[in-house]
């Protein structure tokens, strides 16, 4: 398969400029493996030079690793003014990295030449040509990034064109036009590209930033106009508003532009790869991300759900499975009973009769709680517990006699939270007290303390996340509160919710559901305790 478009990922260099990201060497190596396995064509690892020891080490280590497809690129800039290219220490560092591909950027915008790097327009042209030539003579492949090309072209078209002609003369294998400040409109990009194509025969690439919300569009418009390389960052990380999002672009190239790309055969892994990167950089995944987000195929409107059930493509631009994602019907008050019945069947692996009074009662309870704000679509364990309890599939193995939380702030300004919980378990009373960092933490501690002697497996249950939202504003401190928590154990995580006008009570509901779900899972394994 000969790719029509090459994907060049710069997560490790430009993505690392993201305000929230700071990659270690181990992160970089892990991400490189991920990108290679998915089938990106080029991986830019960083800027190897003596002031950047992590990147120097990266190239050493990646050189020793076996990659299946991707070429590794080292990034740098053109030589400094008034130095021979072969004597420029930064260009020498690029050679020393032994990366098969060298990518350097140079200045295309006359403003930058005279005001920022402060040299002459002529010297800048020679800096570009001589640097590219030196690298080309010492590397398998050399890519020239024309920084600020579009802004430069708008300011001084002749000069901008001279700069990329210099790169072509130097022997660049690709000339990549950069919208560095992200302010170019798609139609400007298209018409400037057409001018470039009249003059330059070297294959072209595009490098877009998202400052105007257009990085994906500008990349696609450029491919449609004939460029053969897209530089970007998986999940669109990067400085300011981010780089062009290669996750979206890869999918658009395959499903919309029908382009041959090397990773095209792996599109079923797209969501998995996207989530894995979020995990490594430790940033919560964007649920609305095109193609791969949790909500990308989540239908909430009643008419939309109805349409998708009749003909899926009526409200889906691609099949969610084609990118490893799933269709979700958000169980909101708009969704009908038949959807809920489908879910129950799936959970219990049985046929159920919608007219059965128990099922009717369950549907009523679900609707009531949805209206109260439980949002079961993000609290599947609370949904399941409601189903199991109401249909007699789970007998709660403890009852709550009472609980009490005392929150004290002393004259010295010290706060103390204490909770006591009194349960009846197996006909015994378990009455425990605990302190905590805040009332919910204390209540959680006391509840576990009361259960642990009877259910030793509880010690492996983690409370991973805990969020509170007030439902319906403008109602002051007696508004309904929704607590949402993530619990986890060695096998996975589950989500629960609790709703009440009282934040302690809402938290209590969530805690009880979270721990009961663990009990249900254990009961399936035959662990009565």
- Among positions 257-296, residues that touch a copy of itself (CB under 8 A) are 257, 280, 282, 284, 287-291, 293-296
Dist. CA 92–CA 99, nearest whole Å:
12
| Mask for 119-138, x = binds a copy of itself (CB under 8 A) | --------------------
The reply to whether 111 sits near a copy of itself by the rule CB under 8 A is yes
The reply to whether 492 sits near a copy of itself by the rule CB under 8 A is no
174-179/141-147 β-pairing = parallel
333-362 positions binding a copy of itself, by CB under 8 A: none
The burial class, CB within 10 Å (0-12 / 13-18 / 19+), for 231 is: buried
Measured from the CB atom, is 71 or 177 closer to a copy of itself? 177
Q: Name the minimum Å distance from CB 28 to a copy of itself.
A: 10
164-223 positions binding a copy of itself, by CB under 8 A: 180-183, 185-187, 210-214, 216-218, 220-221
Q: At 487, list the tokens.
A: 């619990």
Q: Name the minimum Å distance from CB 127 to a copy of itself.
A: 15
Dist. CA 260–CA 52, nearest whole Å:
36
Using the contact rule CB under 8 A, the part of the chain among 3-11, 80-88, 137-145, 468-476 near a copy of itself is: 468-476
Which one of 22, 338, 460, 527 is in contact with a copy of itself (CB under 8 A)? 22
The reply to whether 110 sits near a copy of itself by the rule CB under 8 A is no
Measured from the CB atom, is 171 or 290 closer to a copy of itself? 290
213-242 positions binding a copy of itself, by CB under 8 A: 213-214, 216-218, 220-221, 224, 236, 239-242
Which one of 337, 438, 489, 521 is in contact with a copy of itself (CB under 8 A)? 438
Measured from the CB atom, is 360 or 502 closer to a copy of itself? 502
Dist. CA 364–CA 373, nearest whole Å:
14
Give the count of beta carbons closer than 10 Å to the beta carbon of residue 331: 22
Measured from the CB atom, is 287 or 528 closer to a copy of itself? 287
> Contact at 8 Å (CB) between 56 and 99?
no
The reply to whether 392 sits near a copy of itself by the rule CB under 8 A is no
Q: Name the minimum Å distance from CB 408 to a copy of itself.
A: 5
292-321 positions binding a copy of itself, by CB under 8 A: 293-301, 303-304, 306-307, 310-311, 313-318
The reply to whether 377 sits near a copy of itself by the rule CB under 8 A is yes
Measured from the CB atom, is 351 or 478 closer to a copy of itself? 478
Using the contact rule CB under 8 A, the part of the chain among 67-75, 104-112, 124-132, 515-523 near a copy of itself is: 104-112
Dist. CA 63–CA 74, nearest whole Å:
12
Measured from the CB atom, is 39 or 232 closer to a copy of itself? 232
> Contact at 8 Å (CB) between 264 and 2?
no
The reply to whether 87 sits near a copy of itself by the rule CB under 8 A is no
Tokens 């064509």 belong to 41
Dist. CA 426–CA 25, nearest whole Å:
53
Measured from the CB atom, is 14 or 162 closer to a copy of itself? 14
The reply to whether 409 sits near a copy of itself by the rule CB under 8 A is yes
Give the chain's end-to-end CA distance (angstroms, integer): 57
Dist. CA 206–CA 400, nearest whole Å:
63
Which one of 360, 361, 501, 527 is in contact with a copy of itself (CB under 8 A)? 501
The reply to whether 403 sits near a copy of itself by the rule CB under 8 A is yes
What is the DSSP secondary-structure string of 287-344? TT-TTTSTTTTEE-SHHHHHHHHH-GGGS-SS-GGGGT---EE---TTS-HHHHHHHH
The reply to whether 471 sits near a copy of itself by the rule CB under 8 A is yes
Measured from the CB atom, is 348 or 471 closer to a copy of itself? 471
Which one of 176, 330, 512, 515 is in contact with a copy of itself (CB under 8 A)? 330
Q: Name the minimum Å distance from CB 171 to a copy of itself.
A: 25
Identify which of 206, 112, 230, 127 has the alpha carbon closest to the alpha carbon of residue 170: 127
3-state secondary structure at position 181 = coil
* Total residues binding a copy of itself (CB under 8 A): 133
The reply to whether 30 sits near a copy of itself by the rule CB under 8 A is yes
Dist. CA 242–CA 236, nearest whole Å:
6
The reply to whether 474 sits near a copy of itself by the rule CB under 8 A is yes
Cα angle, residue 428 at apex, residues 424 and 430 outer, rounded to 5°: 60
Identify which of 219, 214, 208, 121 has the alpha carbon closest to the alpha carbon of residue 161: 121
- For residue 519, give Cα distances in angstroms to 145, 376, 428, 525: 58, 20, 18, 10
What is the DSSP secondary-structure string of 14-62? TGGGSTT----HHHHHHHHHHHHHHT-SEEEEE--STT-HHHHHHHHHH
């Amino acid at each position: 398969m000969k790719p029509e478009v090459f994907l060049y990922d710069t997560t490790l260099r430009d993505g690392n400029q993201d305000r929230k990201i700071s990659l270690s060497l181990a992160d970089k190596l892990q991400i490189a493996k991920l990108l290679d396995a998915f089938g990106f064509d080029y991986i830019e690892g960083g800027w190897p030079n003596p002031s950047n020891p992590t990147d120097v080490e990266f190239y050493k280590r990646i050189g020793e690793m076996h990659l299946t497809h991707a070429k590794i690129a080292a990034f740098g800039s053109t030589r400094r003014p008034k130095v021979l290219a072969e004597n420029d220490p930064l260009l020498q560092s690029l050679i020393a990295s032994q990366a098969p591909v060298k990518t350097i950027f140079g200045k295309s915008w006359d403003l930058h030449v005279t005001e920022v790097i402060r040299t002459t327009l002529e010297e800048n042209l020679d800096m570009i040509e001589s640097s590219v030539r030196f690298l080309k003579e010492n590397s398998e492949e050399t890519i020239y990034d024309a920084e600020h090309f579009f802004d430069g072209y708008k300011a001084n078209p002749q000069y901008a064109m001279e700069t990329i002609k210099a790169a072509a003369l130097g022997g660049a294998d690709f000339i990549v036009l950069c919208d560095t400040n992200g302010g170019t409109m798609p139609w400007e990009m298209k018409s400037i590209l057409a001018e470039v194509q009249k003059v330059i025969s070297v294959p072209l690439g595009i490098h877009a930033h998202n400052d105007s919300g257009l990085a994906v569009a500008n990349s696609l418009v450029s491919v449609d106009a004939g460029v053969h390389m897209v530089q970007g960052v998986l999940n669109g990380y990067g400085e300011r508003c981010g780089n062009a999002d290669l996750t979206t672009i890869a999918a658009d190239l395959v499903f919309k532009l029908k382009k041959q790309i090397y990773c095209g055969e792996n599109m079923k892994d797209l969501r998995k790869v996207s989530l894995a990167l979020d995990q490594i950089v430790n940033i919560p995944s964007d649920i609305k991300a095109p193609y791969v987000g949790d909500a990308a195929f989540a239908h909430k409107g009643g008419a939309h759900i109805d349409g998708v059930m009749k003909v899926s493509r009526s409200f889906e631009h691609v099949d969610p499975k084609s990118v490893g994602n799933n269709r979700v019907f958000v169980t909101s008050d708009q969704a009908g009973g038949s959807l809920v019945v489908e879910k129950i069947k799936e959970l219990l692996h049985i046929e159920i009769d919608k007219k059965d009074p128990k099922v009717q009662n369950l549907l009523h309870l679900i609707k009531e709680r949805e209206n109260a704000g439980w949002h079961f679509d993000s609290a599947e364990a609370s949904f399941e517990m409601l189903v199991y309890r109401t249909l007699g599939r789970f007998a709660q193995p403890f009852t709550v006699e009472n609980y009490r939380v005392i929150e004290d702030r002393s004259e010295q300004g010290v706060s103390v939270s204490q909770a006591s919980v009194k349960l009846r378990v197996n006909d015994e009373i378990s009455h425990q007290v605990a302190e905590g960092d805040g009332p919910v933490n204390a209540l959680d501690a006391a509840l576990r303390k009361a259960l642990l002697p009877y259910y030793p497996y509880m010690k492996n249950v983690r409370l991973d996340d805990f969020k509170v939202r007030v439902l319906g504003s403008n109602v002051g401190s007696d508004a309904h509160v929704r607590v949402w928590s993530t619990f986890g154990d060695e096998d996975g995580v589950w989500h629960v919710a609790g709703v009440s006008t009282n934040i302690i009570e809402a938290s209590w509901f969530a805690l009880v559901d979270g721990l009961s779900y663990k009990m249900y899972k254990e009961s399936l394994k035959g662990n009565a305790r």
